Amino acid sequence: MTNRVLRTALATMIAMSLGTPLAAAETEPKKEPTAAQLAARERMTKCSAEWKEAKAGGKMEAGMKWPKFWSACNARLKGNKV
């Protein structure tokens, strides 16, 4: 008896929580990305391709991780010195 009540209560809570975000998502219009966001995405795509090429070719420095590579690549593509 207790299990049946708990399962019903849990199912009701899950159903209510799933229904609310869907309704909110439908009413909010999607924002277009800004020019800066588009530029950042383009830089990330270019750096990602460089990362994959360098890793596949064995040209990576020992211990190089993506965050460090991304930071240097992003700064280079922006025109900043690193």
Report pLDDT digits (tens) over 6-52. Answer: 778 777 777 767 765 555 556 788 899 999 999 999 999 999 999 99
Total tally of structural domains belonging to the chain: 1
Q: How far apart are CA 12 and CA 36, in angstroms?
A: 43
Structural domain boundaries, residue 9 = 2-78
Residues in the chain: 82
Predicted TM-score (pTM) of the model is 0.60
Q: Among 16, 70, 33, 15, which residue's Cα sits nearest to residue 48?
A: 70
